[in-house]
A and B are shown apart, each in its own frame.
Chain A
């Protein structure tokens, strides 16, 4: 078989076209809902189909060029169909819940994860579902996978057997132990399974901060803590699973949030900074993870890693003008999203306090943009738009560009949502008193933000 690759591609393309066949007007009309203005009677459909047969033999040369109109996002049909302004929703079901950390669209539902205090004083996992975006129901409240030992659910995605949630946990029901990276799976959200602890894969002390379904598998990012004779280190870590059930830790980075003397290890827990905080898939399929590490002088700098396959990762070379601070402040990247114009990352800057790098709070917000994940620019933010906001905690792509929200829980204050066409110029679109935003997502024709005030909170608004 010596035919050159270009010839093989041409042959396969012709074969592919022939095997697919063309969609007929009859097929198209049959699967469509009634037309907006009028629906043609049966004979007209038949006439149209007959006409198609003739026309199909004509030229097929139209160039599909990029449209200026916005993409259409209409599914799921029942989700947040009538949102005209930003509002807080959810009602009484939120009150017993400490806070929400992530939300995803699964089928035609929104599913949010978070934590509450737990009856035994150790936190339990929380699952909230909503079919319309306004009314929320807590499910699996007594599920052992969510209540045994310590459960910290940080992120959720649709994937694997249905839903895959990640975070940290200690499955010893009697004695507290260090947080370890933990995965929970569910078919529909009502019953959950905790993946058995495996020290080789999950580590002695570790945490999964975010999870993303990619064409290479389900990829989770976070941190792995290690102790040597000299130092306590928190390093970036990546795990991959083909199905949400079988996991492998594929990569441990050399960079760290802090190399702390073993005589003075930090008090790590769920809510301290991880080197890798978030992951997304870039426009060309490259996996992009963002977070924070210490530079040679011990100051925190934003960090970006990229990977073609999830197995091996390369850090984008450090550029002090982009990822650092000219005034010696710590610079923290908290989230990243990919949209039509490229990538946008968000975070904060804050005064450097020596050993306190794992503190997630900020003093002023920060935004970066990139066309492809490998080249980044820091965006200059105007004080008028961002006001007293100390950090931007989450960003998501929307049909009109990007939507971001903040602050992070450590900076609780005025919860604000901003919108931008390309990540460079932002406008505040709504704000609410007293709380924090953890995650934002496109939901039907609207956006949904989860977080907390004095307890769990959900806000919804138009795109």
Chain B
């Protein structure tokens, strides 16, 4: 049986390596606050069941499913809300960008934000969504087209 300290250290390392990307994908799906809450809920679940979760082949993917479930139940299908643009900190970003992102269909939004806001690779996005890279490409193109249209940006 592992000591408490070993258990705690292994979970700490897991959180450190997993939390940022878990938060990015859940936030892209459900919004800034709801995504952060879902991430914390999912990690809390991971802590509660760490003996079982740590033995899984892909604990991070499992907690993504947990977070997605928690967020869906909490938020239903209301449109996500993203942090507004603070013009003094982001002078070159259109203030309408967060709202335009929130109006994209969920899959398109996740793909666009993971690829272009957080610089995930096409393969990483395909893995987390369980879809092919060609489908990711399709969502990305459709999402960017919608985003450009909504923001009045030329193709």
Contact with A along B66-86 (1 / 0, CB 8 A): 101110010011111011011
- Given A35-B47, A51-B9, A72-B66, answer yes or no on A12-B105 (Cβ-Cβ < 8 Å): no
What residues of chain A lie closer than 8 Å to B12, measured between beta carbons? 25, 48-49, 51-52, 55
What is the CB-to-nearest-CB distance from A238 to chain B, in angstroms, rounded to a whole number?
A: 17
Instruction: Count chain A CB atoms within 10 A of each CB in B11, B70, B97 and give the residue with the most.
Output: B11
On whether A15 and B50 interact (CB within 8 A), knowing A52-B15, A71-B65, A284-B107, the answer reads: no
Which of A57-65, A112-120, A143-151, A184-192 is the contact stretch? A57-65
Taking a contact as CB atoms under 8 Å apart, the answer to whether A62 and B60 are in contact is yes
Cβ of B108 and Cβ of A285 under 8 Å apart?
yes
With beta carbons under 8 angstroms apart, the residue of B16, B61, B77 that contacts A60 is B16
Given contacts A23-B19, A63-B127, A66-B130, contact A16 B32 (CB under 8 A): yes
Give chain A interface residues in 37-80, CB to chain B under 8 Å: 37-38, 40-41, 44-45, 47-49, 51-52, 55-56, 58-73, 75
- A66 to B64 alpha-carbon distance, docked (Å): 8
Does A29 reach chain B (CB closer than 8 Å)?
A: yes
A44 and B47 CA atoms in complex are apart in Å by: 13
A20, A25, A49, A284: the one contacting B139 at CB < 8 Å is A284
Please indicate which of the listed interface residues A11, A16, A44 has the most CB atoms of chain B within 10 Å of its own CB.
A16
CB pair A214–B47 under 8 Å, yes or no, is: no
Write the nearest CB–CB distance from B130 to chain A, whole angstroms: 4
Give the distance in Å from the alpha carbon of A67 to the alpha carbon of B40 in the complex: 19
Contact status of A15 and B17, CB under 8 A, knowing A67-B58, A72-B65, A215-B78: no
List residues of A (5-46) whose CB comes within 8 Å of B's CBs.
5-13, 15-17, 19-20, 22-23, 25, 27-29, 31-38, 40-41, 44-45
Other-chain residue from A20, A44, A51 in contact with B32 (beta carbon distance below 8 A) = A20
Q: Does A1 contact B (CB under 8 A)?
A: yes
Q: Assess the A47–B5 pair: CB atoms within 8 A.
A: yes
Interface positions, chain B 36-78, Cβ under 8 Å from A, are 36, 39-41, 43-52, 56-62, 64-66, 68-70, 73, 76-78
Interfacial chain A residues near B43, Cβ < 8 Å: 23, 28
Other-chain contact of B4, A34, A41, A66 (Cβ < 8 Å): A41
> Which residues from chain B contact A266 at a C-beta distance below 8 Å?
none
Which residues of the other chain, B, contact A59 by a CB distance below 8 angstroms?
Answer: 17
How far apart are A267's CB and chain B's nearest CB, in angstroms?
37
A259 within 8 A of B: no
Pairwise interchain contact B4-A40, C-beta atoms closer than 8 A: yes
Q: How far is B140's CA from A6's CA once the two chains are assembled, in angstroms?
A: 12
Q: How far is the CB of B58 from chain A (nearest CB, A)?
A: 5
Bound: A64/B45 CA distance, A: 17
Complex Cα spacing A66 to B99, Å: 28
User: B41 contacts which of A31, A56, A70 (Cβ < 8 Å)?
Assistant: A31
Q: A60-B20, A64-B127 are in contact. Are A48 and B9 (CB under 8 A)?
A: yes
> Which residues, 78 to 103 on B, are CB-close (under 8 Å) to A?
78-80, 82-83, 85-86, 89-90, 92-94, 97-98, 103
Residues in B with CB closer than 8 Å to A71 are: 65-66, 68-69
Choice from A12, A29, A69, A214 contacting B85 with Cβ under 8 Å: A12
Q: Which residues of A sit under 8 angstroms from B47, Cβ to Cβ?
A: 28-29, 32, 35
Minimum distance in angstroms from B129 CB to a CB of chain A: 8
- Which B residues are in CB contact (< 8 Å) with A13? 113, 116-119
- Which of chain A's residues have a CB closer than 8 A to the CB of B36? 20, 23
* B89: A residues at CB distance < 8 A: 15
B34 to chain A, nearest CB (A): 11
Q: Quote the shortest CB–CB distance from A58 to chain B (angstroms).
A: 7
In angstroms, Cα B13 to Cα A59, docked, is: 10
A213 interface hit (Cβ, 8 Å): yes
Q: Is A87 engaged at the interface, CB distance under 8 Å to the other chain?
A: no
Give the contacting residue for A66; candidates B79, B80, B92, B128; CB below 8 A: B128
Contact A73 B61 (CB under 8 A): no
Complex Cα–Cα for A61 and B113 (A):
17
Does A283 have its Cβ within 8 Å of any Cβ on chain B? yes
Known contacts A40-B4, A63-B124, A71-B69: does B62 contact A5 (CB below 8 Å)? no
CB–CB B90/A12 < 8 A:
yes
Residue of B nearest to A216 (CB): B79
Contacting residues, chain B, for A61 (C-beta < 8 A): 17
Chain B interface residues (CB < 8 Å from chain A): 4-5, 7-9, 11-13, 15-25, 27, 32, 35-36, 39-41, 43-52, 56-62, 64-66, 68-70, 73, 76-80, 82-83, 85-86, 89-90, 92-94, 97-98, 103-108, 112-113, 116-119, 124, 127-130, 139, 144, 147-148, 151, 153
Measuring CB to CB, which residues of chain A are less than 8 angstroms from any residue of chain B? 1, 3, 5-13, 15-17, 19-20, 22-23, 25, 27-29, 31-38, 40-41, 44-45, 47-49, 51-52, 55-56, 58-73, 75, 158-159, 212-215, 281, 283-286, 308, 340
23 contacts between A and B (CB under 8 A): A5-B144, A8-B92, A9-B117, A12-B93, A23-B36, A28-B15, A31-B41, A35-B48, A35-B51, A38-B4, A41-B4, A47-B5, A49-B12, A55-B17, A58-B16, A63-B128, A64-B127, A67-B61, A69-B65, A215-B77, A215-B103, A215-B105, A285-B107
A25-B15, A31-B44, A66-B61 provided; 20 other pairs, C-beta below 8 A? A3-B92, A5-B148, A8-B94, A9-B112, A9-B116, A10-B116, A10-B117, A12-B93, A13-B118, A15-B83, A22-B23, A23-B36, A35-B49, A64-B128, A65-B58, A67-B61, A71-B68, A72-B69, A212-B77, A285-B105
